[in-house]
Amino acid sequence: WSYEEIKQRRRIYNTSVNIADTVLCVTFTAVQPEDYREDMPCISVLKPHKDISRHLITSVDMIRLLKYITCDWFPVSEQNRIRRNLEELKPKTVSNRGTEEEVAIYKLICSLSHPEPKNISKDIKVFEWDSMARGLRKVLSRY
């Protein structure tokens, strides 16, 4: 990670998708914050603590990624169904009223600018980055 990414505790990834037969390959390429453009299909990976190797992704970015992969727009009802399907990944809900760690993660998410890993400032679900592939497989198996 660059100095700026470490300072912001976030890395922005541009996403590219390649589908060959029935194999889906999603590739992530790091983008420096100053190089980010609105038309790029990007997600954020959060590193909430400097000394912990744990990385997180928000439910908003998971759905953003699914929209990009499927080239589809999901109505709110479908987004809610996707969120329910992702519950098996055991996401953590962070808000401004929780444990010290949850509040710190929530404040980090709310402080970030484009691409914003949240839609509105309310309770936010975060997933371990390591669980993302399993979540994508689960949701995409229904399409």
pLDDT number for residue 118: 58
CB atoms within 10 A of CB 109: 23
Q: What is the DSSP code string of 49-78?
A: -TT----EEEHHHHHHHHHHHHT----HHH
139 within 8 A of 86, measured Cβ to Cβ: yes
Q: Where are the domains of the chain?
A: 3-140
Q: What is the pLDDT of residue 28?
A: 94
Interval 62-85: pLDDT, tens:
988 988 888 777 788 888 888 888
- Residue 138 pLDDT grade (very low, low, confident, very high; cuts 50, 70, 90): confident
pTM as predicted: 0.84
pLDDT given at position 128 = 92
